[in-house]
Amino acid sequence: MPLQHLALLTSGGDAPGMNAAIRAVVRTAFYHGITVTGIMDGYEGLVKNDFIELGPRDVRNIVQRGGTMLRSARSEVFRTKEGRATAAKNLRDAGINALICIGGGGTQSGAHQLANEQGVKLIGVASTIDNDLGGSDRTIGFDTACNTALEAMDRLRDTASSYGRIFFVEVMGRDTGFIAMHTSIAAGAEYVMVPERRENVDELVRVLENRAKEKGSSIVVVAEGDQEGGAFKLAEAVKARCPQFDIRVSILGHLQRGGNPTMADRLLAARMGAAAVEGLIAGKEHCVVGIVKGEIAFTPHAEAIAQKKAIEPDLFRLLHMLAV
């Protein structure tokens, strides 16, 4: 049956650029004569039948906005088989032939289950500030989150260098250190701590001591999921070894999830959103849309979820080489 009516949701952690992706989906569908239903609050709204009609004018003036006009949620009921059966029934009852799920790892795992178990025809769009989903070299929101964190680090450097202080700056990244790694290089930080690598605190102290001899400021970027337990714990461990250090901690937190998407994220969102619709028209399903080596790619859900995307190892070397 040709695609006539599709539904669209955003789920999990919101990411700047989700709105640009929604706009791309709605307008590409309109271009191809396909009706679009928006689902509020992610999978929660899918189970509760919270649907709205979306035409091309309903998505005006959102391309530049952070957050998601369809809202997001982490749904408990959708984790149950009954919840997913209700979700699939609601789609059928509304005459919807396919679903587009915009989100990160959790969202795509949910989509995978819905497709496998309930036979829903769907496509995922890779979107998370953490950049930790397979199937796309960069996920929607990552670039904006990095730029937001970077701006904060530049400001912290101003005050840190006025006092010769050490700042431990914690960025998001529960399981992966993409934001930490990329921003640490861009901010000219002295050290980075990421969940993927166990670092030696003594080595960190050695670097900071050398730096202190020159009376310079230092910035240590810490991913929230780092193996020492985050920026506060790490700062305490360093202070216990070097009581003379003047240390401050700054947790950037959810600041990184908001704000106007950068050009890179808007472009990514536009390309992926349009590709999701045109992929469905071409008969693709049960896969995640991303951009791999500059080209649109459709990766089977199981593969995209299982892929462990690694931080480029040369970046660690680069950071330590430049942070003299």
**Of 180 and 189, CB closest to ligand F6P:** 180
> What is the C-alpha to C-alpha distance for residues 254 and 172, in angstroms, rounded to an integer?
8
Cα separation, 161 vs 163, whole angstroms? 5
83 binds ligand F6P (CB under 6 A): no
Residues with Cβ within 8 Å of residue 271, at least 6 apart in sequence: 24, 291, 296
CA 179 – CA 164 distance, rounded (Å) = 25
> Using the rule CB under 6 A, is 172 a contact of ligand F6P?
yes
Tokens of 120: 């829903």
Complex with ligand F6P: residue 130 or 228, whichever CB lies closer = 130
The active-site residue, picked from 130, 132, 226, 265, is 130
Which span (31-39, 128-136, 243-251, 283-291) binds ligand F6P, by CB under 6 A?
128-136
Identified binder of ligand F6P from the candidate list 174, 198, 206, 317, rule CB under 6 A: 174
- 91-99, 152-160, 167-175, 200-208 -> range binding ligand F6P (CB under 6 A): 167-175
Q: Is 45 in the site for ligand F6P (CB under 6 A)?
A: no
CB of 108 to ligand F6P, least distance (A): 13
* Helix (H/G/I), strand (E/B), else coil: 72: coil
What's the Cα-to-Cα distance from 319 to each of 137, 155, 266, rounded to whole Å? Answer: 21, 20, 28
Question: Does residue 140 interact with ligand F6P by CB under 6 A?
Answer: no
Interface with ligand F6P includes 81 (CB under 6 A)?
no
Among 105, 173, 261, 279, binds ligand F6P (CB under 6 A): 173
How crowded is the C-beta side of 24, counted as CA atoms within 13 Å?
A: 24
The answer to whether residue 128 forms part of the interface with ligand F6P (CB under 6 A) is yes
Whether 44 contacts 138, CB under 8 Å:
no
User: Which of 34, 129, 280, 304 touches ligand F6P (CB under 6 A)?
Assistant: 129
Could you confirm whether 130 is annotated as catalytic?
yes
- Residue 260 has what DSSP assignment? P
Q: What is the pairing mode between strands 295-300 and 287-292? A: antiparallel
Extract the tokens encoding 145: 């989150």
Residue nearest to ligand F6P (CB): 13
What Å distances lie between residue 246 and 172, 204, 211, 220, CA to CA? 24, 15, 13, 13
Q: Is 155 in the site for ligand F6P (CB under 6 A)?
A: no
Total residue length of the chain: 324
Interface size with ligand F6P, residues (CB under 6 A): 9
Tell whether residue 146 is a contact of ligand F6P (CB under 6 A): no
Which lies closer to ligand F6P via its Cβ, residue 130 or residue 196?
130
Closer to ligand F6P at the Cβ: 88 or 172?
Answer: 172
Q: How far is the CB of 219 from ligand F6P (least distance, A)?
A: 20
Which of the residues 202 through 241 are near ligand F6P (CB under 6 A)?
224
Running DSSP on this structure, what letter comes out for residue 202?
Answer: H
- Distance, in Å, from the CA atom of 175 to the CA atom of 272, rounded to the nearest integer, reads 24
For ligand F6P, the binding residues (CB under 6 A) are 13, 128-130, 172-174, 224, 257
Catalytic residue numbers read: 130
